[in-house]
Structure 1
């Protein structure tokens, strides 16, 4: 009975638009009161959920993303991508995807990507003759590459839950991230040719070199983060601090878009974002503890394996569960609640934990661009001042191409496992 109340309260609050953290917290509180469990368990489980050194990455990478946006680093990335691909039919759309791939290698969050690149590219593409829903859809879809190409905040969460190397997980996302970006570029080009979207003037070699030189410091940031983690120079947590310091120096003294006056608001925004994520992690851990105490994860695992123990079928079922949950629930909450239970099922049919973690993150990233709770859809709809439905319709071709990549990643382990095994050993 108490479990039914737990899920009923959670679903009702979710459907009426209550923020996911409060949905988890209020539902958990309802269960505890009905069960007569002491409420001292609330701070204990919340603290246990966030008491992890690796989670310190989150505020570091959030700060790095904010510094990039304010310090004009994002603008240089977009201009370089446009100089490289703008002359191709639908070039601004290709530059949008390319910019997201580069930006994702620094910030690690899809929401930051959609907000920063969308604020520049959606109006710019609309002025150049692109349909605004198409521009918004490209921005939302390409933002999901960010947490696949390392670094990645969701992978940090998955690593802390499973105990696997975060560095290996970052490497596992490199090839699938590039594959995802390439698939979206192909989709953009096909749609651009069919709809007659414009192309920009081809940049001269001198202009291309100039934009490449201008974006050099921004591109170097990705290399420093990845080389530092892979080479053992610093941990992922230390990498987030290095990224923040680097973004501060480049934004303040090289690109000069960052000023001392910007810093107070920037720090406040970082604290608010990081605090809300940590609150979500803590409350999701409390909710997950309740589910574990009621053996819900075990029941879910037994239910899946009762349907079939064929790895092909089980992987398909896991994908369907994650896609559905990702369409309704915030990524981090979904990972904390579902990942430990589904990981046991995945490893039971022979999946490597890193392979499954990447597949889970990719599913939940796709969920960010699907109604009804697609956060990135809401962001780009707001930036473009568009009805949510028009953007949802425009994003369908990109969802299809992303699902194709998801199936490839799910059933070809080498796409995610080859690079970490090569560079860091099996």
Structure 2
């Protein structure tokens, strides 16, 4: 490894160890390395600026805003009520409710933490009331919240598509089966836990109660069909779909459920802007880090080193999976794309690995990173919702985390799980 690479990565990990924010650590380690090796610093501002001015990234603030509006509009609680009416009377029914609600909200918000916050605030107390341990309930919701970046529309896929220069629409389609598979496996795990601890079921809803719950939730159920159907039919692009989601949420909140007022819009715009600014700061800093990896040949050298370590794509995929699982413990998904894709993309080309398939498996890896300490963002959201410590939440997440890793390995070594649907669309 070259002296430039050692300086870049050593300074980055030292800053992370000192608890410096990820965006600052990425940018500062780049500047330190460029200054130490007398590289042209004036090129850095233009690189950072150009990384944030890509049209596709406009989807990020609008998906954030859409998620906030749909939560305030009362869509999430109606989806939960509908799921409870349909499955609450089965063994492990509340766990199934949690997963179904997370699946639907994920397909509207595109964000793991947003899904965790919107669904967990309602479902976790209900699961605890039924007999689940609080740490188990939080662990299930934290892991299910990770589906927010696996299922479309996903902010993570938008960033991956920009960095890897692949079709975001195809990434969205490719994420459907793996996301649903993860949801199914999490629901089964919840069912097994319910049987083990003999958790009682809820009373069975009558046909009238089911119909009423369906009517109440129908506008929420339509949201993913409108958003994803518009993308797949070619009616609008993934970026435009985020704007459609915002106006759909406003329409439902203002005129259908009437739980949302125009007075709330400025506050939601500010909150969305705050979330977006944090993401864009990471994008700018991470793109400068990735730029240095590329121009100094560090990425190619590391790719060659990895390819020398293994001579077939299956071993390479296992090595990459281990690297990403470890990385997910310390860096967020967006930073990981910019740091690792310049290294991994040459390997994909050389090994004949489909970049759409790799986008899904990399996103699954990083979804697992949302529930692995010490920097698992969904764990901290769960701590805030439940009042439990990070240690307690981490214990509760273990069975669901193991199931998620099994799904990851299936998606990694069975490419058809992610490539079958995009193949049908071609």
Give the structure-1-normalised TM-score. 0.97
- Measured against aligned partners, the alpha-carbon deviations of 1:115-170 in whole angstroms (never above 9, x if no partner) come to 11122222232233321101110110101112111111111111111221111110
- Measured against aligned partners, the alpha-carbon deviations of 1:195-222 in whole angstroms (never above 9, x if no partner) come to 1223211111111111111111111110
Aligned match of 2:358: 356
**Deviation above 6 Å: which 4+ runs of structure 1?**
none
Q: Is the 8 A contact 2:5 2:298 kept in 1?
A: no
- Measured against aligned partners, the alpha-carbon deviations of 1:395-418 in whole angstroms (never above 9, x if no partner) come to 111111111111111111111111
The answer on 1:60 being equivalent to 2:44 is no
Q: 1:332 to 1:117 in 2, by over 3 A?
A: same
Which deviates more from structure 2 when the two are superposed, residues 114-123 or residues 5-14?
5-14
The answer on 1:88 being equivalent to 2:90 is yes
Q: 1:15 to 1:172 in 2, by over 3 A?
A: same
Aligned match of 1:124: 126
Q: Is the 8 A contact 1:343 1:356 kept in 2?
A: no
Structure 1, unpaired ranges of 5+: none
The answer on 1:192 being equivalent to 2:224 is no
Aligned match of 2:265: 263
Which deviates more from structure 2 when the two are superposed, residues 286-295 or residues 330-339?
286-295
Aligned match of 1:20: 22
CA drift of 1:22 comes to: 1.3
Which deviates more from structure 2 when the two are superposed, residues 57-66 or residues 247-256?
247-256
Q: 1:300 to 1:4 in 2, by over 3 A?
A: closer
Equivalent of 1:69 in 53, 68, 71: 71
Aligned match of 2:161: 159
CA drift of 1:16 comes to: 3.0
Q: 1:5 to 1:308 in 2, by over 3 A?
A: closer
Which deviates more from structure 2 when the two are superposed, residues 136-145 or residues 158-167?
158-167
Q: Is the 8 A contact 1:358 1:416 kept in 2?
A: yes
Equivalent of 1:31 in 30, 33, 36: 33
Structure 2, unpaired ranges of 5+: none
Aligned match of 1:281: 283
Aligned match of 1:330: 332
CA drift of 1:351 comes to: 1.3
Q: Is the 8 A contact 1:229 1:235 kept in 2?
A: yes
In the alignment, the residues of structure 2 paired with residue 344 and residue 41 of structure 1 have an alpha-carbon distance, to the nearest angstrom, of: 24
Matches within 5 A, 1:106-255: 106-255=108-257
In the alignment, the residues of structure 2 paired with residue 58 and residue 100 of structure 1 have an alpha-carbon distance, to the nearest angstrom, of: 20
The secondary structure found in structure 2 opposite 1:329 is coil
Q: Is the 8 A contact 1:130 1:198 kept in 2?
A: no
In the alignment, the residues of structure 1 paired with residue 202 and residue 341 of structure 2 have an alpha-carbon distance, to the nearest angstrom, of: 44
In the alignment, the residues of structure 2 paired with residue 194 and residue 254 of structure 1 have an alpha-carbon distance, to the nearest angstrom, of: 42
Number of residues of Structure 1 aligned to a counterpart in Structure 2: 424
CA drift of 1:41 comes to: 2.5
In the alignment, the residues of structure 2 paired with residue 3 and residue 178 of structure 1 have an alpha-carbon distance, to the nearest angstrom, of: 39
Which deviates more from structure 2 when the two are superposed, residues 77-86 or residues 57-66?
77-86
Q: Is the 8 A contact 1:90 1:192 kept in 2?
A: yes
In the alignment, the residues of structure 2 paired with residue 251 and residue 13 of structure 1 have an alpha-carbon distance, to the nearest angstrom, of: 44
In the alignment, the residues of structure 2 paired with residue 16 and residue 74 of structure 1 have an alpha-carbon distance, to the nearest angstrom, of: 38
In the alignment, the residues of structure 2 paired with residue 407 and residue 322 of structure 1 have an alpha-carbon distance, to the nearest angstrom, of: 13
The secondary structure found in structure 1 opposite 2:263 is coil
Which deviates more from structure 2 when the two are superposed, residues 39-48 or residues 78-87?
39-48
Q: Is the 8 A contact 2:293 2:342 kept in 1?
A: no
In the alignment, the residues of structure 1 paired with residue 410 and residue 375 of structure 2 have an alpha-carbon distance, to the nearest angstrom, of: 25
Give the structure-2-normalised TM-score. 0.97
In the alignment, the residues of structure 1 paired with residue 56 and residue 342 of structure 2 have an alpha-carbon distance, to the nearest angstrom, of: 17
Q: Is the 8 A contact 1:147 1:365 kept in 2?
A: yes
- RMSD over aligned CA atoms reads 1.4
Aligned match of 1:314: 316
Q: Is the 8 A contact 2:294 2:342 kept in 1?
A: no
CA drift of 1:325 comes to: 0.9
In the alignment, the residues of structure 1 paired with residue 297 and residue 228 of structure 2 have an alpha-carbon distance, to the nearest angstrom, of: 39
CA drift of 1:38 comes to: 4.7
In the alignment, the residues of structure 1 paired with residue 306 and residue 254 of structure 2 have an alpha-carbon distance, to the nearest angstrom, of: 53
Q: Is the 8 A contact 1:309 1:349 kept in 2?
A: no
In the alignment, the residues of structure 2 paired with residue 317 and residue 290 of structure 1 have an alpha-carbon distance, to the nearest angstrom, of: 24
Which deviates more from structure 2 when the two are superposed, residues 280-289 or residues 78-87?
78-87
In the alignment, the residues of structure 1 paired with residue 355 and residue 191 of structure 2 have an alpha-carbon distance, to the nearest angstrom, of: 35
The secondary structure found in structure 2 opposite 1:262 is helix
The answer on 1:300 being equivalent to 2:302 is yes
Which deviates more from structure 2 when the two are superposed, residues 368-377 or residues 18-27?
18-27
